Amino acid sequence: MAPRLEADTTPTLPASPPAVPVARLSHNDVSQLRTLSILHYVLALFVAFFSLFPLIYLFLGIALLTGSIPLDGGASGALGAEAVGGMFVVMSAFFLLAGMTLAGLLVFAGRCLMQRRRHTLCMVVAGLSCLCMPLGTVLGVFTLMVLSRAPVRESFQGTASPLAPTS
């Protein structure tokens, strides 16, 4: 009898994709991303603090709605106090919610900058931080400048190594 040959059953690995050129982040880029991340946290604290100011108007509006603060003017004054109180409550709640949302986005963007994730979100939050004049404008412009560089953009996509080799 002839020896029986068995088929080769070793699994073959698929061909690896072609190597993508890896961009190297300079020490300067890494340092700037870390600094921008910290400054996002600092700006978030300022935004959160100043967004608490509408609480004064919220409490004033609630006092007007409950009648704790009476307004003179007879029967038509009561309707006016309710309308003004309602407007105070709605507007202050809107500004409080918007400010706290922006502060939360700044904290999240600072974390994403440190971890080099979510490039688009970081760009959008940098644009939104420009609304917080003057500190947020400076931070937003510098963040947009750093995030627009090709090696930094590639590092957010996972194709860049953390540091360029020093020569």
pLDDT string in tens for the chain (167-residue length)? 666 666 656 666 566 554 444 457 788 888 888 999 999 999 999 999 999 999 999 999 898 888 777 766 555 555 677 788 889 999 999 999 999 999 999 999 999 988 888 889 999 999 999 988 899 999 999 999 998 888 888 888 765 555 555 54
Collapsing DSSP to helix, strand or coil, 24 comes out as: strand
For the chain, the distance separating the N- and C-terminal CA atoms, rounded to the nearest angstrom, is 67
Q: What is the pTM of this model?
A: 0.71
Residue with tokens 């590092």: 155
Rg over CA atoms, the chain:
28
What are the backbone dihedrals phi and psi of residue 166, each rounded to the nearest 5 degrees, phi first? -85, 135
Q: What residues form DSSP beta bridges with 24?
A: 161
What are the backbone dihedrals phi and psi of residue 23, each rounded to the nearest 5 degrees, phi first? -80, 145
